[in-house]
C-alpha cells in the first residue's frame, strides 16, 4: 500500500471506512470530500467528514484509527490527524441526514479502491447535502458544488423535488433543475 500521504482522497476515505468497519463501526463519507470524489477533485476540501451509523464513541473511533496512524486532536475530539497527511478526518454527530431528511442505508453508495471500500452519499443525496448548506446558510460554494455533482452524475429528480418540498424550498427546485439542465 502507498504511504498515507500519497493516497488519493477516495483511497484515504476507503482506508478509513475499511479500518473502522473491521472494528465494527460503519461510517459514510459526506460533505465537501464527498463532492470532491463525485467531481474528481473539481472542488477540494481540507477534511473528510464521516458520519458513523449507530452509536459509537470517540474512544472507539480513536482506537480503530490509531492502527493506521491517526491521532485525535484531544481526548474527546471529533477531529483526527496523521503526521504524513494534510487532510483531517472529522466525525460530526449523526444521524446520517441531508437537511431534515434521513438517509437510509440502501441509499449509501460504495466505491472499491486499492485500500478498501469507500462508503459515501449517492450523487442525489450529495446534491441535497450541498443544497441544504446553500438554502440554510446562503453558501454559494455549496450551490456550485451541487450543480457540478448533478451535471456529472444522474440524479433522482423526483426525490429532489420531494426533498425541496420538505425543506420548504419548493420554488428552489425548478430553479436548480434549470441551472443543471442549462435552461434559460
Closest CA to 36 of 17, 15, 8: 8
The Cα 4–Cα 134 span in angstroms is 33
Closest CA to 95 of 16, 9, 41, 30: 30
What are the angstrom distances between the C-alpha of 121 and each of 72, 152, 162? Answer: 25, 15, 18
What are the angstrom distances between the C-alpha of 78 and each of 46, 47, 74, 107, 155? Answer: 15, 12, 8, 25, 31
pLDDT at 184: 56
pLDDT at 183: 67
Altogether, the residues listed in the chain come to a count of 184
pLDDT at 182: 84
Rounded (5°) CA angle 95-101-104: 65
Check if the beta carbon of residue 77 is closer than 8 Å to that of residue 58: yes
Q: What is the pTM of this model?
A: 0.94
pLDDT at 164: 97
The Cα 107–Cα 20 span in angstroms is 20
pLDDT at 66: 96
Q: What values do phi and psi take at 88, rounded to 5? A: -100, 145
Within 13 Å, how many C-alpha atoms sit on residue 119's CB side?
Answer: 21
Going residue by residue through the chain, which has 184 residues, state the pLDDT in tens, using 9 for 90 and above: 789 999 999 999 999 999 999 999 999 999 999 999 999 999 989 999 999 998 888 889 999 999 999 999 877 789 999 999 999 999 999 899 999 999 998 899 999 999 999 999 999 999 999 999 999 999 999 999 999 999 999 999 999 999 999 999 999 999 999 999 986 5
Amino acid at each position: 500500500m502507498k504511504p498515507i500521504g500519497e493516497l488519493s482522497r477516495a483511497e484515504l476515505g476507503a482506508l478509513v471506512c475499511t479500518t473502522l468497519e473491521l472494528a465494527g463501526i460503519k461510517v459514510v463519507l459526506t460533505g465537501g470530500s464527498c463532492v470532491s470524489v463525485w467531481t474528481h477533485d473539481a472542488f477540494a476540501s481540507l477534511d473528510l467528514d464521516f458520519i458513523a451509523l449507530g452509536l459509537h464513541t470517540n474512544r472507539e473511533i480513536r482506537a480503530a484509527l490509531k492502527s493506521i496512524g491517526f491521532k485525535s486532536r484531544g481526548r474527546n475530539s471529533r477531529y483526527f490527524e496523521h503526521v504524513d497527511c494534510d487532510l483531517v478526518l472529522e466525525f460530526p454527530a449523526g444521524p446520517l441526514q441531508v437537511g431534515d431528511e434521513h438517509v437510509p442505508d440502501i441509499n449509501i453508495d460504495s466505491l472499491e479502491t486499492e485500500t478498501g471500500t469507500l462508503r459515501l452519499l449517492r450523487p442525489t443525496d450529495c446534491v441535497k447535502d450541498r443544497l441544504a448548506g446553500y438554502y440554510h446558510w446562503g453558501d454559494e460554494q455549496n450551490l456550485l458544488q451541487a450543480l457540478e455533482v448533478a451535471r456529472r452524475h444522474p440524479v433522482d429528480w423526483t426525490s429532489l423535488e420531494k426533498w425541496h418540498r420538505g425543506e420548504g424550498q419548493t420554488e428552489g427546485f425548478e430553479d436548480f433543475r434549470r441551472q443543471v439542465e442549462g435552461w434559460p
